Structure 1
Amino acid sequence: MEFTQVKEIASKNQKRAYFLYAEDEQLLFQIRDILRKRVIGDENSMSHIKLDANRCTPLDLENALNTYSMFQEDILVELSNCNFMESATQHPMKEIIEDYLKNPREELYFFATYKYENDLSKRNSYLDGLKKKVPSLSFIESIDSLKQKGMVSLIEDLFMKQNVQVSKNIPVFIGEVFRGSSLQLEKEIEKLIAYTDGGEIRKEDVLAIMEVSDERHVMNLLDLIFTEKGLGRNIKEILNLINDLLYRGEKPEMIIGLVGSRLRVLFKVKILQDRSASSQEIMKHLRTGSAWYADRMSKISGSLSFKEYSKLFRVLLEHEYMLKTTSVESSALLEMLIISMVNSRDIK
């Protein structure tokens, strides 16, 4: 669902229980802030309970959902990092959340979320099935990455928060040229305002100061190359995405660097797995608090053999050496690198 639609639903106060998931975490924060402002107003309210699914216990969650306010006000319970809801596998908190969504309380608002890694992992058949079982007071939905309409609305809101007036064509223009997450967008708007220093903001200023990037598409490329079933096999889809990235202005050198970085991370995880490292050790190495993400990276890492890693590193080094020592066109070199990498799989 588009961000503007979810925002409208949250603003109309028609729902009591929300389970939202998105690739762009800042969009989840935007909806959360709407609820906070409407339900409790003051963040220090005694009726505001914030929980992190990576740190709290099932009992903590049950107690929160059974809390009654001592005052004449509604309660807001927030639960973040619910990645365990991505599949039908069992989890201690899953039954609690499912039961609550089927029967939400009138005097309590529940807001649960998780961030997925990219469009490839957006689909959630478990939650799609749960949607059909919950009443109208509960709302289960994924928030799409910003499209043109939602982007313009968010840009207008960001300027309004900064008390900056701009001509109507500027938010539309920024929405057309900017590529990135809403968190990146917020930072870029702040840079733009500082750059113009209270003066009129023109299209030339936007092009001079704002970053035009698309990290999300690069992450999708990495997930097409390195999959849970081994090296990607859909060469056509991979090359189409590379061409799209280059068309958007991404530098081939940057993409090659990110491919090499992902390969090194996966290899280190492979070594940890070979040493029977715990999930906590792998999470620490990946610098993540998400057990789901660590498990996913472990599956991708384990899908490649040490022989395949050896081939991949050799291919990467050869192409990086060519990039630095020859005059070959970098975009052509990038395509050669990717084709060579996906053809490095073991012959079984």
Structure 2
Amino acid sequence: MIDFDVLEGEIKKGKIENSYIFCGLDEELIKEGVNLIVDKSIDKSLLDLNYIRLDGLTTTFEDIMNACETMPFMGEKKVVVVYRSNFFKDKCDASLTKLYNEVLKYLKDLPPYTVLVMYYLFNDKRDTPKKSSKIRSLEKLTKVVYFDKLKKDRYYKKVEEIFKEKGKEIGKVELRYFAEKVQHNFDIIKREIDKLISYADGRQITRADIDKLILNSSEDDIFDLIDFISQRKVEKTLELLNELLSTSDQHMLIISNIANNFKRLYEIKILVQNGENINSISGKFKLPTFVCEKLINQCNKFTVKQLQELMKICLDTENKLKTSGVDKNMEMELMVFKIFMLK
């Protein structure tokens, strides 16, 4: 398995494999990897004839095989890209499992003139290729490329290029502050840059603007945790909680943040029931509208009574951690189970 930097280095040297599996959260970065292969393999004048894209959600094995088997037109290579290749999910239905098995077998007999690129987007920022049994099993047959975070200098440069493409200059200090605070996903980064540019409305972007529009990573993690709870995803909730506890031994701070998030959802729930609109709620909480939209969606998954009980569960757990010598991690996990048992 290699990363994007290694892939780019290999392509520059003219080393292009017969097949690839691209995976990660950042589709914009993955598309950049695809473009590198396409630009190196196919003459631009023959792009329409020798570059084929197939939707992995709707394509069949016959579609993939036919695209790969057809000889390139007036060139040495053709590139076939299967995007949204959800048949790489460990848990999928019978039809996708069948497609995966057929592709697995076909990779051994792929024509030498075809470069097959299949890419799969992870659902969660904590997913990795090592957690996927299907992707691990394919490493001997194809080149797996994991599109994780770019190295810092390159990452900063790429973020700066996006600002320039959109016709907006940003100071070096503000650029780095924004780049470190935003999620390292270029699809998200582009949307957040659009929001910043719109919010600044022609003036210089400041650190205060960034603070107002971009969530802190810790707040983002707590938001994800509450979201998993609202979707009744026990395993994901525990996995994220354990990750938070392992990276930061601050049990009281974490539980306080969880409780505060439930409190905010409770207050928003009451305002919504009283007929308040989103602009009014945004003003009261001093939050951007798009953040309020997400919070309203979350609070709609709970009743007022449930949110009251959730705050009580958090408070009881916080008091136990303060007043007794209990195992803190175990007590936090017990809190999660109490939350999911709540009717």
Report Cα offsets for 1:80-115 as digits up to 9, x if no partner.
222322339882222343345445544322221111
- 1:184 corresponds to which residue? 188
- 1:84 corresponds to which residue? 87
2: CA distance, partners of 1:192 / 1:32: 29
**1:143 alignment partner, one of 131, 144, 147:** 147
- SS of the residue 2:49 aligns to: coil
Paired residues, number: 281
1: CA distance, partners of 2:136 / 2:64: 23
Q: CA RMSD in A?
A: 4.9
Residue type at the aligned position of 1:154: K
- 1:109 corresponds to which residue? 115
Q: CA deviation at 1:59?
A: 0.8
- 2:53 corresponds to which residue? 50
- 1:316 corresponds to which residue? 306
1: CA distance, partners of 2:45 / 2:152: 33
With the length of structure 2 as denominator, give the TM-score of the two structures: 0.60
- 1:292 corresponds to which residue? none
Q: CA deviation at 1:55?
A: 0.7
Contact kept? 1:86, 1:126, Cα under 8 Å: yes
- 2:224 corresponds to which residue? 219
1:200-219 superposed matches below 5 A: 201=204, 203-204=206-207, 207=210, 210-214=213-217, 215=220, 218-219=223-224
Structure 2: state its 5+ residue gaps: 267-301, 322-330
Report Cα offsets for 1:259-316 as digits up to 9, x if no partner.
9xxxxxxxxxxxxxxxxxxxxxxxxxxxxxxxxxxxxxxxxxxxxxxxxxxxx97972
Sort the Cα spacing of 1:106 and 1:196 in 2 relative to 1 into closer, same or farther, 3 A. farther
Sort the Cα spacing of 1:162 and 1:234 in 2 relative to 1 into closer, same or farther, 3 A. closer
Residue type at the aligned position of 1:128: R
- 2:286 corresponds to which residue? none
Contact kept? 1:23, 1:118, Cα under 8 Å: yes
- SS of the residue 1:45 aligns to: helix
With the length of structure 1 as denominator, give the TM-score of the two structures: 0.59
2: CA distance, partners of 1:33 / 1:171: 26
**2:124 aligned with 1:118, yes or no?**
yes
Residue type at the aligned position of 1:31: G
- 2:29 corresponds to which residue? 27
1: CA distance, partners of 2:60 / 2:229: 35
- 2:137 corresponds to which residue? 129
- 2:338 corresponds to which residue? 343
Residue type at the aligned position of 1:318: Q
- 2:287 corresponds to which residue? none
Sort the Cα spacing of 1:25 and 1:322 in 2 relative to 1 into closer, same or farther, 3 A. same
Report Cα offsets for 1:44-83 as digits up to 9, x if no partner.
7122211112211111111111121223363221112223
Q: CA deviation at 1:117?
A: 1.6
Contact kept? 1:48, 1:77, Cα under 8 Å: yes
- 1:14 corresponds to which residue? 15
Contact kept? 1:77, 1:111, Cα under 8 Å: yes
Q: CA deviation at 1:252?
A: 5.9
Sort the Cα spacing of 1:210 and 1:73 in 2 relative to 1 into closer, same or farther, 3 A. farther
- 1:265 corresponds to which residue? none
Q: CA deviation at 1:30?
A: 3.0
- Identity among equivalent pairs (%): 16
